[in-house]
Amino acid sequence: MTFSTVNLDTSVGQGMTSHVEEAFRRLLTARTGITLYDYQMPHLRDTVRLACERFGYGHEADYLLVLQEKADFSPELEYLLAGVTVGESYFFRDSGQMTLLQDCLLPGIIARKRKDNDYSLRIWSAGCSNGQEIYSIVMLLHEILPDFDGWVLHLLATDINTSALTSAVCGKYSEWSLRATPPAMVERYFTRIGDEYVLTESIRKRVRFAYLNLSEDAFPSMFTETSGLDLILCRNVFIYIEPEVSRSIMNRFAACLVPDGLLLLGASDHVSWPDETLVREQTGDASYLRRREAPQVTLYVTDESPALAAQPAVTDAMVEAALKTLETGSRPVEKEAVSAGDRGLARIIELVRAERWRDTLTLIAQEIDKSGASSEILQLKAKALANLGNLEEALQACGQSIALDPTDKHTYLMQGMVLIEHDRLPQAETALRKAIFLDHAFLEAHHHLGLLQLRLGRRDAGLKSLSNALALAERGDPHRGIHNASGMNYGRFAEVLRKEICIYADASH
């Protein structure tokens, strides 16, 4: 993003003019999706002033020009972002919502899961700040679940403020952060060391913290661990984001949730959304959103299928493009004639690219009935099932695919990712190492291996694996898409990797 140069008197100490303030606002919106309102401008001015002192800029305009010239997320931009997004957070904030979660929403999700014999919970805290919100959820679950250790908990917390994420990983808090926490829970889950309260490792290790920009990064996705979720908390985040961007985020949140999944917003988040599958519900003074089950459609995919009329059609041109993908992929397509099976696979690939997971499974079932199962089709079946949250079936499909072709690195990657979701971490590491054995330059496998090693407490090994992934990402074409991460290119992935390395490296000091 390029901005016009602001012509100003750049003498030191004159302060920001309205033109410079507006330029900072536009830059933040363009780069992060964050919108600053008039009442937030004094905070912006203070942050810019402190940034100039920290980085040695003589005038605010000098700082602005550096931000404009650097395409990547630089330390200067990180500092600005940390300053303008800082918000007061504390454990068990918003007592009404926390009571609702403890007494109604979490027990409801748990009861539904028990009925289905599914002992897993998938929760995402989006805009997690210093981690108080997601850690509050872990403590609530520990109080609610008598068989806490028997559950597979996928607890993801993301933010764009890397300093806050580093703080969250460390789990050290002031007494003021605990002012709404019941004394018995403070005693049970925290250890006081000097002026700080350190959260017990048994709670900290349950959460994975990651950098994710809601305005730019891909979700829902198995790659970002944001699919098939039971609960999303995104409280007091939309106050920073433009309405149009907010609507897009809300639509994607809806797609992240399983049917009957819940979304909690903050009291100050006034946002609309066009997705009719999200419906507002009220319990007492607290409201939340529930994802309704989408209408079931009997789908038989043909070129003229009326079931696809409301969605982008799988056109012949798209099929030909997918066929070219097959030609340059792990298995060559015979040159003499494209078989019906290849054309069917190409149509499945296009549905996968469009993230139409239910349609994908329907077409896969038809293709298997017609032509039999192949390793490629079973791999795509596993991907669709995993993105819908059907992890056990996804794991079975991975095994079936590997039985037909034990040399496909992508299937081992998928198997590893699903095993991580199952909390079967040693087996997941084995699968990821098999993928890397088949291709030492397999970027996505190095990334997930690094995250897994960090989760296992092997910080040095994890940081090394993430550094390997970063080196591979920096070596690639920055505009080229990542095969296993829809919406992510090499350039953007390198940015994310730098941030993840920074978060965990800083937390180790």
21-27-31 Cα angle (round to 5): 155
The domains of the chain are located at: 18-85, 95-291, 296-372
pLDDT in tens, 21-63: 899 988 888 877 777 777 778 878 888 988 898 888 888 999 9
Under the banding of pLDDT at 50, 70 and 90, the label for residue 2 is very low
Query: What angle, rounded to 10 degrees, do the helices at 75-85 and 60-69 form?
Result: 110
User: CATH second-level architecture of 18-85?
Assistant: Orthogonal Bundle (1.10)
Q: Which residues of 52-63 are buried (b: 16+ CB within 10 A; e: fewer)?
A: beeeebebbbeb
pLDDT in tens, 448-461: 999 999 999 899 99
Q: Is 70 exceeded by the pLDDT of residue 322?
A: no
Instruction: Say what the pLDDT of residue 298 is.
Output: 39
Instruction: Say what the pLDDT of residue 340 is.
Output: 54
Instruction: Say what the pLDDT of residue 341 is.
Output: 56
Tell the residue number behind the tokens 């795509």, with chain if given.
380
- Average pLDDT on 7-19 reads 55
The number of angstroms, rounded, from the C-alpha of 74 to the middle of its chain's C-alpha atoms is 21
Q: Is 90 exceeded by the pLDDT of residue 8?
A: no
- What is the longest distance spanned by two Cα atoms in the chain? 75
pTM: 0.78
pLDDT in tens, 343-378: 788 889 899 888 889 999 999 999 999 989 999 999
Residue 396, both tokens: 């079975």
- Top-tier CATH class for 95-291: alpha beta
Lowest-pLDDT range of 88-97, 102-111, 402-411: 88-97
Instruction: Say what the pLDDT of residue 417 is.
Output: 95
- Helix and strand numbers, DSSP H then E, in the chain: 21, 12
- Average pLDDT on 235-255 reads 86
Under the banding of pLDDT at 50, 70 and 90, the label for residue 138 is very high
Helices (H), 242-333: 243-256, 316-327
Q: Is 70 exceeded by the pLDDT of residue 319?
A: no
- Average pLDDT on 395-424 reads 95
